[in-house]
Amino acid sequence: MLKVGITGGIGSGKTTVCEIFSSFGIPVFNADAETKQLYTNSTELRHQLVVTFGEDVFLTSGAINKAFLSEKLKFDEGRKALNDTVHPFVFERFKQWSDEQKSPYVIKEAAILFESGADKTVNKSILVTAPMDIRIDRVKSRDARTSEEIQSIIASQWTDSRLRDLVDFIVVNDGKHSLIEQVRDLHAKLIHQATHF
Ligand code: ATP
Protein backbone atom coordinates (compact mmCIF):
# COMPACT_ATOMS: atom_id res chain seq x y z
CA MET A 1 0.00 0.00 0.00
CA LEU A 2 1.20 3.49 -0.85
CA LYS A 3 2.10 5.46 2.28
CA VAL A 4 2.11 9.25 2.17
CA GLY A 5 3.64 11.51 4.82
CA ILE A 6 2.29 15.00 5.53
CA THR A 7 4.54 17.45 7.29
CA GLY A 8 4.92 21.18 7.89
CA GLY A 9 5.82 23.55 10.68
CA ILE A 10 3.60 24.41 13.63
CA GLY A 11 0.38 26.09 12.49
CA SER A 12 1.00 25.41 8.79
CA GLY A 13 -2.28 23.50 8.51
CA LYS A 14 -1.29 19.81 8.45
CA THR A 15 -4.31 18.70 10.46
CA THR A 16 -6.62 20.85 8.34
CA VAL A 17 -5.23 19.29 5.14
CA CYS A 18 -5.51 15.80 6.66
CA GLU A 19 -9.17 16.46 7.50
CA ILE A 20 -9.80 17.12 3.80
CA PHE A 21 -8.04 13.86 2.81
CA SER A 22 -10.08 12.13 5.48
CA SER A 23 -13.31 13.57 4.00
CA PHE A 24 -12.27 11.85 0.73
CA GLY A 25 -12.18 8.54 2.65
CA ILE A 26 -8.40 8.34 3.12
CA PRO A 27 -7.27 6.93 6.50
CA VAL A 28 -4.98 9.26 8.45
CA PHE A 29 -2.46 8.21 11.11
CA ASN A 30 -1.62 11.10 13.42
CA ALA A 31 1.90 10.41 14.72
CA ASP A 32 1.60 12.86 17.66
CA ALA A 33 -1.73 11.42 18.83
CA GLU A 34 -0.44 7.85 18.44
CA THR A 35 2.66 8.74 20.47
CA LYS A 36 0.45 10.01 23.30
CA GLN A 37 -1.53 6.76 23.20
CA LEU A 38 1.69 4.75 23.36
CA TYR A 39 2.88 6.73 26.42
CA THR A 40 -0.23 5.42 28.17
CA ASN A 41 -0.70 1.98 26.67
CA SER A 42 2.70 0.53 25.80
CA THR A 43 4.27 -1.10 28.85
CA GLU A 44 7.46 -1.67 26.86
CA LEU A 45 7.77 1.99 25.82
CA ARG A 46 7.05 3.13 29.39
CA HIS A 47 9.83 0.85 30.60
CA GLN A 48 12.27 2.19 27.97
CA LEU A 49 11.43 5.79 28.93
CA VAL A 50 12.29 5.06 32.57
CA VAL A 51 15.55 3.38 31.50
CA THR A 52 16.46 6.45 29.39
CA PHE A 53 15.24 9.31 31.62
CA GLY A 54 14.65 7.86 35.08
CA GLU A 55 11.46 7.56 37.15
CA ASP A 56 10.68 11.31 36.90
CA VAL A 57 9.50 10.83 33.33
CA PHE A 58 6.13 9.77 34.80
CA LEU A 59 4.02 11.54 37.40
CA THR A 60 2.79 9.58 40.40
CA SER A 61 -0.58 9.35 38.61
CA GLY A 62 1.19 7.37 35.85
CA ALA A 63 0.71 10.14 33.27
CA ILE A 64 3.69 11.35 31.26
CA ASN A 65 5.50 14.24 32.97
CA LYS A 66 5.18 16.90 30.27
CA ALA A 67 7.11 19.57 32.19
CA PHE A 68 10.03 17.18 32.71
CA LEU A 69 10.05 16.18 29.04
CA SER A 70 9.77 19.81 27.84
CA GLU A 71 12.98 20.58 29.72
CA LYS A 72 14.73 17.64 28.04
CA LEU A 73 13.45 18.70 24.63
CA LYS A 74 15.22 22.05 24.92
CA PHE A 75 18.54 20.32 24.27
CA ASP A 76 19.68 18.37 21.21
CA GLU A 77 20.84 15.51 23.43
CA GLY A 78 17.46 15.20 25.19
CA ARG A 79 15.58 15.49 21.92
CA LYS A 80 17.69 12.75 20.38
CA ALA A 81 17.28 10.49 23.42
CA LEU A 82 13.50 10.92 23.35
CA ASN A 83 13.27 10.40 19.60
CA ASP A 84 15.52 7.33 19.68
CA THR A 85 13.37 5.82 22.44
CA VAL A 86 9.91 6.67 21.09
CA HIS A 87 10.15 6.50 17.31
CA PRO A 88 10.74 2.75 16.91
CA PHE A 89 7.44 2.19 18.76
CA VAL A 90 5.59 4.72 16.58
CA PHE A 91 7.09 3.20 13.41
CA GLU A 92 5.91 -0.26 14.46
CA ARG A 93 2.42 1.04 15.32
CA PHE A 94 2.19 2.76 11.91
CA LYS A 95 3.16 -0.47 10.16
CA GLN A 96 0.50 -2.47 12.05
CA TRP A 97 -2.13 0.21 11.46
CA SER A 98 -1.33 0.46 7.71
CA ASP A 99 -1.67 -3.30 7.32
CA GLU A 100 -5.20 -3.04 8.75
CA GLN A 101 -6.38 -0.32 6.31
CA LYS A 102 -8.31 -1.01 3.13
CA SER A 103 -7.63 2.02 0.99
CA PRO A 104 -5.51 2.74 -2.12
CA TYR A 105 -3.19 4.82 0.05
CA VAL A 106 -2.86 6.02 3.64
CA ILE A 107 -1.54 9.20 5.22
CA LYS A 108 0.83 9.72 8.12
CA GLU A 109 0.69 13.20 9.65
CA ALA A 110 3.95 14.08 11.39
CA ALA A 111 5.24 17.52 12.40
CA ILE A 112 8.79 16.13 12.35
CA LEU A 113 8.61 13.64 9.47
CA PHE A 114 12.19 14.20 8.28
CA GLU A 115 13.72 15.24 11.61
CA SER A 116 12.56 11.92 13.15
CA GLY A 117 13.55 9.69 10.22
CA ALA A 118 9.85 8.86 9.69
CA ASP A 119 10.28 9.89 6.03
CA LYS A 120 11.76 6.42 5.57
CA THR A 121 8.43 4.87 6.60
CA VAL A 122 6.52 6.57 3.75
CA ASN A 123 6.75 6.40 -0.04
CA LYS A 124 5.70 9.96 -0.86
CA SER A 125 5.65 13.17 1.13
CA ILE A 126 3.70 16.41 1.19
CA LEU A 127 4.77 19.71 2.77
CA VAL A 128 2.08 22.13 3.96
CA THR A 129 3.35 25.70 3.90
CA ALA A 130 2.01 29.06 5.03
CA PRO A 131 3.68 32.41 5.64
CA MET A 132 5.26 32.61 9.08
CA ASP A 133 3.09 35.52 10.33
CA ILE A 134 -0.10 33.65 9.37
CA ARG A 135 1.15 30.49 11.11
CA ILE A 136 1.91 32.38 14.32
CA ASP A 137 -1.51 34.14 14.27
CA ARG A 138 -3.31 30.83 13.70
CA VAL A 139 -1.49 29.11 16.56
CA LYS A 140 -2.15 32.06 18.89
CA SER A 141 -5.87 31.87 18.10
CA ARG A 142 -5.88 28.09 18.57
CA ASP A 143 -3.60 27.55 21.61
CA ALA A 144 -2.84 29.31 24.87
CA ARG A 145 0.85 29.55 23.89
CA THR A 146 3.04 32.62 24.22
CA SER A 147 4.95 34.05 21.23
CA GLU A 148 8.17 32.80 22.90
CA GLU A 149 6.85 29.24 23.12
CA ILE A 150 5.77 29.32 19.48
CA GLN A 151 9.14 30.75 18.40
CA SER A 152 11.00 28.08 20.34
CA ILE A 153 8.97 25.32 18.61
CA ILE A 154 9.60 26.95 15.22
CA ALA A 155 13.33 27.09 16.00
CA SER A 156 13.38 23.34 16.78
CA GLN A 157 11.72 22.38 13.46
CA TRP A 158 13.32 22.30 10.03
CA THR A 159 12.58 25.33 7.84
CA ASP A 160 10.28 25.24 4.83
CA SER A 161 13.19 26.03 2.53
CA ARG A 162 15.03 22.93 3.78
CA LEU A 163 11.93 20.73 3.55
CA ARG A 164 10.89 22.02 0.13
CA ASP A 165 13.80 20.17 -1.54
CA LEU A 166 12.94 16.88 0.18
CA VAL A 167 9.21 16.48 -0.46
CA ASP A 168 7.28 15.28 -3.50
CA PHE A 169 4.37 17.74 -3.25
CA ILE A 170 3.66 21.12 -1.66
CA VAL A 171 0.30 22.45 -0.46
CA VAL A 172 0.12 26.22 -0.02
CA ASN A 173 -2.17 27.16 2.88
CA ASP A 174 -1.91 30.94 2.75
CA GLY A 175 -5.65 31.63 2.76
CA LYS A 176 -5.48 32.67 -0.93
CA HIS A 177 -5.00 29.34 -2.73
CA SER A 178 -7.96 26.96 -2.36
CA LEU A 179 -7.01 24.12 -0.02
CA ILE A 180 -9.82 21.86 -1.19
CA GLU A 181 -8.79 22.20 -4.85
CA GLN A 182 -5.13 21.50 -4.05
CA VAL A 183 -6.03 18.43 -1.98
CA ARG A 184 -8.50 17.20 -4.63
CA ASP A 185 -5.75 17.41 -7.30
CA LEU A 186 -3.26 15.64 -5.05
CA HIS A 187 -5.80 12.95 -4.17
CA ALA A 188 -6.30 12.20 -7.89
CA LYS A 189 -2.51 12.01 -8.41
CA LEU A 190 -2.04 9.75 -5.38
CA ILE A 191 -4.87 7.41 -6.43
CA HIS A 192 -3.17 7.13 -9.82
CA GLN A 193 0.24 6.50 -8.24
CA ALA A 194 -1.27 3.95 -5.83
CA THR A 195 -2.67 1.90 -8.70
CA HIS A 196 0.82 1.71 -10.24
CA PHE A 197 2.57 1.09 -6.92
P1 ATP B 1 0.40 21.84 14.62
O2 ATP B 1 1.72 21.48 14.05
O3 ATP B 1 0.50 22.86 15.69
O4 ATP B 1 -0.42 20.64 15.04
P5 ATP B 1 -0.99 22.09 12.11
O6 ATP B 1 0.07 22.24 11.06
O7 ATP B 1 -1.63 20.74 12.21
O8 ATP B 1 -0.46 22.60 13.49
P9 ATP B 1 -3.65 23.13 11.97
O10 ATP B 1 -4.00 22.72 13.35
O11 ATP B 1 -4.27 22.39 10.83
O12 ATP B 1 -2.06 23.19 11.80
O13 ATP B 1 -3.97 24.69 11.74
C14 ATP B 1 -3.61 25.64 12.74
C15 ATP B 1 -4.82 26.51 13.05
O16 ATP B 1 -5.10 27.31 11.91
C17 ATP B 1 -6.08 25.71 13.34
O18 ATP B 1 -6.82 26.36 14.32
C19 ATP B 1 -6.83 25.71 11.99
O20 ATP B 1 -8.21 25.61 12.16
C21 ATP B 1 -6.40 27.06 11.42
N22 ATP B 1 -6.30 27.05 9.95
C23 ATP B 1 -5.58 26.17 9.21
N24 ATP B 1 -5.69 26.44 7.90
C25 ATP B 1 -6.51 27.53 7.82
C26 ATP B 1 -7.01 28.31 6.73
N27 ATP B 1 -6.69 28.03 5.45
N28 ATP B 1 -7.80 29.35 7.01
C29 ATP B 1 -8.12 29.65 8.29
N30 ATP B 1 -7.68 28.96 9.36
C31 ATP B 1 -6.89 27.92 9.13
Regarding pTM above 0.85, the answer is yes
Sorted by sequence, the CB contacts under 8 Å of residue 165 that are 6+ apart come out as: none
Q: At residue 64, does pLDDT exceed 90?
A: yes
Q: What is the model's pLDDT at position 120?
A: 95
The pLDDT tens digits for 100-138 are: 999 999 999 999 999 888 999 999 999 999 999 999 999
The reply to whether ligand 1 has any atom less than 6 angstroms from the CB of 15 is yes
Q: Specify the CATH class of 1-27+105-192 in words.
A: alpha beta
Provide the CA 94 distance to its chain's centre, in angstroms.
12
Calculate mean pLDDT across residues 84-94: 95
Decide if 49 contacts 57 (C-beta within 8 A): yes
Please identify, by atom number, the ligand 1 atom nearest to the C-alpha of residue 175.
27
Cα of 130 to ligand 1 centre, how many Å?
A: 10
Give percent of the chain with pLDDT exceeding 90: 87
Beta pairing, strands 2-7 & 105-109? parallel
Cα of 136 to ligand 1 centre, how many Å?
A: 10
Provide the strand spans (E) within the chain: 2-7, 28-30, 105-109, 124-129, 169-172
